[in-house]
Structure 1
Amino acid sequence: MEKQILVPTNFSKHAWNALVFGLKLYKSISCNFILLNVYDDGRGISDRIPGIKPEEDIDAKKTSKEGLDRIMQGLSFRKENQNHEFETLSLEGDLEEVVQEIVNTRSIDLILLGTEGANVNIHSSYKSKLSKLADVLQNCAMLFIPEDFELTDQSVNEIVFPSTLRFPFQEKELDPLKDLASNSASPIRVLYIDSDGKGLSEEQERLKENLEEHFSAIKNTFHRLTKTTASTGIHLFIESRQSTMLALYKRKQGFFSKLFLQSKGDGIEFDPSVPVLLLKELD
């Protein structure tokens, strides 16, 4: 079945990089890439398209369509996969609402997003459009790519997946992670942060076995760090192993929010410099 990949773009370098990442990631897979630009005719599009000043008198719709046309021209020179198809959408509105509507009405497998700079700053405390999108979007996984990260055979070695082992996962919630691991030929490193050093309860052992069953077709290992906070532990684990991808599971309330809030008191800013797959709790 053809995958449906949504790629929001503001025509920046980091947005283009996210698209190229996706082309390489799915180089052997049939995909339809939906290139989306959201513009706002009422306020102008200076906050979405680099180089546009607020005082400039512009036709937002025209600028949006011309930008998408330029992307299509650039894609005409790439030959990753003849089974890659491309669709462009130029829509007026609010970015979060437009993306959610597309997710609600189409079978989107993954949303690809490029982040500005070397880090993935997606917690709501960062007050950016991407952090807001990460916070409010429901029922679809999102993959955030740092601006200068390039996917090569050597650039991805493993995917770190922290878990509290307190709740069971639905199979569909983990599909994007398994898909990413398979397509990038990367093992999954399940990481449990045992802050109080008590070990796993019987229920957590059961959930650990359940998680291993989910990942049975993919190389995976289990790791436990003690006497450290989640943010510090994840940071040190990635740094010490030079891990190149991170997957986080975001419930409507829970570990993801605590992870970023906690980091402010650790003396470590939790802003990963590796691609981050954000899995969402499904309804």
Structure 2
Amino acid sequence: MKHILLPTDFSKNAWNAIEYALNLYTDQECTFHVFNVYNQPASGPYTGITSAKAREAIYHAQVENSKAGLEDVMQAIHDKFNNPKHTFTSLSKYEMFATAVIDVVKTLHIDCIVMGTKGASTFKEMTLGSNTASLIGVINCPIIAVPKQKNYVTIREIGLSTDLDLTFTTHGLDPLLRVATANKSKVSILHIMDRDKQLTAKQHEALEVLNSILNPLQSDFFTLTDIGVSSGVHAFVESRKLDMLCVIAKEQDFLKRILNQSYSKSISNHSNVPLLILNIKNFN
């Protein structure tokens, strides 16, 4: 049975991600852990003894708000979904978000995190920094980041953006393989390179290994030349009308580097594709 973590701040975006997850895993036996993290403001108008009293009052209010919010979410799930393959738990934690998630992932043996993003698109949110971005590079389990107002649709085609400069393994790609197999999805590999360059022998070898791992899934290989990585990724997502984009995070600021703020605003404002984020540590 899979264990899926569903962080929520009780916003519409968070609820949308929960609905996406329940539809994505509709045919799989899963335990979903609805998780709320809360913390006190870093600063406030209180000092000394008054500050201590105020912080205690804020803490108790947050505890009650978290409890009530989780009860509402669990009730909403019960009212809308009735899948005998799914079970649910709820929990909350008073901690910084990334620290809390890291602890829960380890304790509950989480297989995947599905969470919402804010902003015009997943890409924009990643560049600006978010709870999702704070987990990149530090969480070994995959993350599915669901854009604002993105409803679940059958995942017909998944893009995999790669520089082909790593050793692909079945273990590392397992989250992608599971999603693609369950949805009978096509996997479209994207590699961006300079026009005057060719794939190196090592990259050819990596591509052969990747194609072998993806078999028997349907897959294609595409190259884009003379275009920035950021713009190329966005253009590929839009032109292929992808239902999901998979990236392999090599470092915590990976998405800031790959999906930076230099891409065309006209593309970013219409990009609405969930991101499947894998950690390179799982390829070792």
**TM bin (shorter chain):** 0.7 to 0.9
**Which residue does 1:170 correspond to in 2?**
169
> How does 1:85-234 map onto structure 2 within 5 Å?
85-121=87-123, 125-134=127-136, 137-153=138-154, 156-234=155-233
Secondary structure at 2:79's aligned position in 1? coil
Distance 1:190 1:121, change over 3 A: closer
| % identical aligned pairs | 30
Distance 1:254 1:200, change over 3 A: farther
The size of the alignment, in residue pairs, is 267
Q: Write the distance in 1 (CA, Å) between the matches of 2:92 and 2:40.
A: 12
Q: Write the distance in 1 (CA, Å) between the matches of 2:12 and 2:91.
A: 19
Q: Is the 8 A contact 2:127 2:256 kept in 1?
A: no
The higher-RCO structure (CA 8 Å, 6+ apart) is: 2
Q: Write the distance in 2 (CA, Å) between the matches of 1:84 and 1:158.
A: 26
- Return the offset for 1:152: 2.7
Which residues of structure 1 form unaligned runs of 5+?
Answer: 45-53
Secondary structure at 1:161's aligned position in 2? strand
Larger radius of gyration: 2
- Return the offset for 1:16: 0.6
> How does 1:240-279 map onto structure 2 within 5 Å?
240-252=239-251, 256-261=255-260, 264=262, 267=264, 271=268, 272-279=271-278
- Return the offset for 1:139: 0.8
Q: Is the 8 A contact 1:231 1:270 kept in 2?
A: no
TM-score (norm 2): 0.85
Cα deviation 1:217-267 (Å, max 9, x = unaligned): 322111111222211211111222222211111012796453134x52x55
Q: Write the distance in 2 (CA, Å) between the matches of 1:185 and 1:215.
A: 12
TM-score (norm 1): 0.85
More helix by share: 2
Q: Is the 8 A contact 1:122 1:131 kept in 2?
A: no
Secondary structure at 2:198's aligned position in 1? coil
Q: Is the 8 A contact 1:246 1:277 kept in 2?
A: yes
Cα deviation 1:46-73 (Å, max 9, x = unaligned): xxxxxxxx9x966111110111111111
Cα deviation 1:177-226 (Å, max 9, x = unaligned): 11222233321101111224322111111100100111113221111112
Distance 1:41 1:126, change over 3 A: closer
Q: Is the 8 A contact 2:127 2:255 kept in 1?
A: no
Which residues of structure 2 form unaligned runs of 5+?
Answer: 44-54
